[in-house]
Amino acid sequence: MIEVIYILWLRQLKHYWRSKARLLGSLGQPLLFLVTFGFGFGPMYTRASGGANYLDFLAPGIVSMSILFTAVFSGLEVIWDRQFGFLKETMVAPISRTEIMIGKTFGGATIAIIQGLIVLSLTYVLGFRIPNLASLAVGLVFMFLIAIFFTGLGLAIASKMKDMQGFQLIMNFLIMPIFFLSGALFPLENLPQAIYFVSRIDPLTYGVDGLRGAIAGVSVFGIYNDLAIMALLSVLVCLIGAFLFSKIEA
């Protein structure tokens, strides 16, 4: 089982590193958000918060955004494999579909974490600082949980689809509200009740809040609460994904 998972994980990493355009292109949006929001809204946030640095608040949200987008679109690998016949070859191999799902999930999550670390390095260049190595270690745990959850979600949805364009439309319809309502760009305090309620049922909210609490020292719900919720959701979505993947038709 471990060997199968390793092979599938390694295959996704090789595809990622071979695609230089994909690597560079996926950095464009986070960098744009960091520069435009960080320096555009920074002065207003500083005045409204009594001197706090907006980049310290924004950086964890943009890192989470990078992981989110990379993770959910890893589901395209399933549709791509189905269209070109690789998925059928994988399915007829003497291995369980659960192992295939686990390998693809870890592969997609690893790529998403790498992407998040690259964006985190960019925030360091712009002036963001992590207090210590312990904070970074806790932050990596939250990055891992965000990556696992949304990779599992992307694979679960992709397992029921055969069209790349349809998958991209559904993912964009889902992930844009998930991102903007997560508190990645603005504080959750003093929001209208309806918006706050939707934010509370947004899974990314707890990932962003936990990551921000770990590496920036600001948390609304508490790091332990965020950790418990993200861990539970990650396990749940992986179980659902494994079930749906077991029913997939190549």
| pLDDT bucket at 23, cuts 50 / 70 / 90 | low
Which amino acid appears at position 192 of this protein?
Answer: P
Give the max Cα distance, the chain. 62
Are 79 and 157 in contact by the 8 Å Cβ rule? The answer is: no
Structure confidence by residue, pLDDT tens digits, 44-93: 766 666 667 788 888 999 999 999 988 888 777 777 766 666 666 666 66
Least confident of 3-17, 70-84, 112-126: 3-17
Task: Give 170's contacts (C-beta < 8 A, 6+ positions apart).
Answer: 157, 161
| Alpha carbons 153 and 159: distance in angstroms, whole number | 10
Span 199-209, mean pLDDT?
Answer: 94
Q: Name the pTM for this structure.
A: 0.87
pLDDT at 7 over 90: no
pLDDT at 5 over 80: no
Q: Give the burial class of 84: count Cβ atoms within 10 A of its Cβ; 0-12 exposed, 13-18 middle, 19 or more buried.
A: exposed
| pLDDT bucket at 144, cuts 50 / 70 / 90 | very high
Give domain limits for the chain. Answer: 2-246
- Which pLDDT score, from 0 to 100, does residue 248 have? 66
Q: Give the burial class of 2: count Cβ atoms within 10 A of its Cβ; 0-12 exposed, 13-18 middle, 19 or more buried.
A: exposed
212 alpha-carbon distance from chain centroid? 14
Q: CA 243, 232, 95 angle in degrees (round to 5)?
A: 30
Structure confidence by residue, pLDDT tens digits, 146-182: 999 999 998 888 877 777 777 778 777 888 899 999 9
* CA proximity to 77, closest of 100, 59, 57: 100
Task: Give 80's contacts (C-beta < 8 A, 6+ positions apart).
Answer: 86, 164
Structure tokens at 11: 């295959």
